[in-house]
Amino acid sequence: MIANYGYKDGSGDFFIALDTDKCDGCGICVLPCPSNVLAVVDEDPNDPMREEPVAIVGDEQRQKLKYACAQCKPAGVDNPKLPCVEACPQGAIAHSW
């Protein structure tokens, strides 16, 4: 399942997509994130039947992703290497913008 966390407004779509089929909850992505956007939880809010831990974007971060991720994704820079994406050994993380 692709879990999309974020928002859309007049300036664009700002979502982090986490592929929960690939994510094994290892937590490696949490460490390099400078804005504490990512967290690993024992219960998947999108899939109550899942028994393994999974990465999510916390509630307080979802409405400000554009700003929280700005230091990794500065405006005008195309395809920067994102610490979270680079760190994930499963290739489970994508960003919409």
Of 3-11, 22-30, 44-52, which segment contacts ligand SF4 by CB under 6 A? 22-30
Per rule CB under 6 A, is residue 23 in the interface with ligand SF4?
Answer: yes
- The answer to whether 70 and 83 are in contact (CB under 8 A) is no
What are the strands of the beta sheet with 12-19, ordered from one edge?
2-9, 12-19, 93-95
Q: Which residue among 29, 44, 56, 62 contacts ligand SF4 (CB under 6 A)?
A: 29
Tokens at residue 37, please?
Answer: 């956007």
Q: What is the DSSP string of 22-69?
A: T-----TTTTT-TT--EEEESS-TT-TT--S-EEEE-HHHHTTHHHHT
User: Helix, strand or coil for residue 89?
Assistant: coil
Q: Which one, 44 or 72, has the nearer CB to ligand SF4?
A: 72
Of 2-10, 44-52, 80-88, which segment contacts ligand SF4 by CB under 6 A? 80-88
Q: Which residue among 63, 83, 94, 97 contacts ligand SF4 (CB under 6 A)?
A: 83
- Contact footprint for ligand SF4 (CB under 6 A): 18, 23-29, 32-35, 37-38, 40, 55, 68-69, 72-73, 82-84, 87-88, 90, 92-93
